[in-house]
Amino acid sequence: MRIDIITIFPDMLKNTLDESIMRRAIGLGLVEVNIIDLRDYSLSKHKKVDDTPYGGGAGMLLQFPPLYEALQAIKQANTKVLITSPRGKTFNQQMAESLSQLEHIVILAGHYEGFDERIYHFVDEEVSVGDFVLTGGEIPALLITDAVVRLLDDVIKKESHENDSFSNGLLEHPHYTKPATYQGFDVPEVLKNGNHKEIDQWRHYEALKQTYMKRPDLLKDYPLTKQDLKWLEQIKKELGETK
C-alpha cells in the first residue's frame, strides 16, 4: 500500500511517522508513506498556496491550482483521494478496514479556513474525525494513516486487531498482565486457569458489559444471541439496575 499526504506543514507529520509501529511498517516495506509539501506545486515564485476568499470573510483558503497540480502529479488509476473536513463522513473502524484493502490513498490535509471548493471535483470522499474543528488536517491525516496501516498484513499480529474495540461490534474486554496480585488488586481467576473456552466466554461477557455501560448505542446494531440477552440481564443485575 502507498499513502500520500499532501500538507503545508510536512514537519508536523515526519516525527510521528518516524516512531513506533509506523516506523517499523515503513522500514519493512509493508507500506509506503509519502509526505508531500503543497508548496512544491505552487505557481508563485514565493511558494504561496493560500489567499483570501472571494466575497470576503475571515481567514485564508488553500488555493485550487497547487492542489490540482499536486493531485495531477501523484494520482493514478487505482488512487482514492480523501480530504479531511468537518463536513465529511465520520471516520470509524469499518472505514479503516475498507481503506486498508486499497493500493493507493491520497489524503489532502486542510488548513486555515479550508480549501477552494473546486478541488472537491477531484475528491472521492470527505472524512471527519469527529464533531469538532481543529487548526488543520494534519492530525486527522495521521490518525487515518495510523488506523489503516496497523490493519495491513504483518504490521501487527492479526489477532491483535481482530478483537479491537469496534472491530466485532463491541468494545474490547479488559486486559491484565503480571503480577497477578498487587496491593490487594487481583487478576480474575478465570484468566489464570488455562481453560480457553472459559476465558473466551469471560472475555465476551466482559465485552458486552463494557459496551452496555459505556456505549449502549452499539448494541442496537449488534446481533445479540440468546446467550447474550441472558448475560445482559445478568449484567443489569450486577449493576443494580431493575426492570
Active site residues: 86, 113, 150, 164
**Residue among 72, 79, 144, 69 nearest 106 (CA):** 79
Contact between 207 and 172 (Cβ < 8 Å): yes
CA distance 150 to 157: 9
CA 86 remoteness from chain centre: 15
CA distance 62 to 87: 17
Contact between 22 and 149 (Cβ < 8 Å): yes
CB atoms within 10 A of CB 46: 7
Tell me the longest C-alpha to C-alpha distance in the chain: 71
CA distance 109 to 94: 21
**Residue among 21, 12, 51 nearest 134 (CA):** 12
CA distance 227 to 215: 20
